[in-house]
Amino acid sequence: MHIHREGFKIIANVFIAVALLALVIVYYTDTFTEIHLILFLPLLLLLLWTISFFRVPHRVPVLLPDSVISSADGTVVVVEEVFENEYFKDKRIQISVFMSPLNVHVNWFPMNGEVSYMKYHPGKFLIANHPKSSIENERNTLVVKDAKNREVLLRQVAGMLARRIICFRKAGDKATIGQEFGLIRFGSRVDFYLPLDAKVQVKIGDKVKGTQTVLANLK
């Protein structure tokens, strides 16, 4: 496990702020008491949470033919047939994975292929499990096409706390299963839009792990 490079500056800023607040508390109090512990504990937890948020686990991705692997850690909150109106403009199976502030927030490619489409959309910051968050929130859409010309659309969706979507890839880039393609800060979701004949392997409420859990099998 390592700390994501996107977190270095934020962690440093939080550390400085925590240290300064701790110094102010010590400066304005005479002796160390239980009050200090009550005041210091939230500051320490904030620092530890910030470090934990940017953790990147070292995992060996599951390699199964014709499978779509989860791009994120979290909980499945949507499994339904919907009309996808940005890229496919037809009906697809949507699977959505909600990432709480305690989950790993790195996003990995769910299959091998090529990035055939990518577009960023500014938007609102509704809570990430809101039904309209996929079409109204700030989001980034990315489509991966495999060697059999099967396409899966991924959508990084910002949430109420998530105020920045990061994507390191662009259209034309090679997609390798388990390779990192982005990150969302802080608390968010990833939507997957699959062909209607895909065989879904998860249900609402399931806990999934990025690079490890099979979401569906493609025909």
Q: What's the token pair of residue 76?
A: 């499945």
Beta bridge partners of 95: 79, 192
Catalytic residue among 70, 96, 133, 188: 188
Given its phi and psi angles, is residue 149 left (phi above 0), alpha (psi -120 to 50 degrees) or beta? Answer: left
Told to judge if 70 belongs to the known catalytic residues of this protein, a careful annotator would answer no
- 100-135 burial by CB neighbour count: b if 16+ within 10 A, else e? beebbbbbbbbbbbebbebeebeeebbebbeeebbb
Nearest to 151 by CA among 95, 111, 202: 111
The residue with tokens 């096409």 is 145
Are 153 and 110 within 8 A, CB to CB? no
Nearest to 138 by CA among 112, 167, 111: 167
The residue with tokens 């495999």 is 146
Q: What's the token pair of residue 115?
A: 């990035």
- CA 51 to mean position of chain CA atoms: 16
Q: What's the token pair of residue 166?
A: 């990061």
Catalytic residue IDs: 188
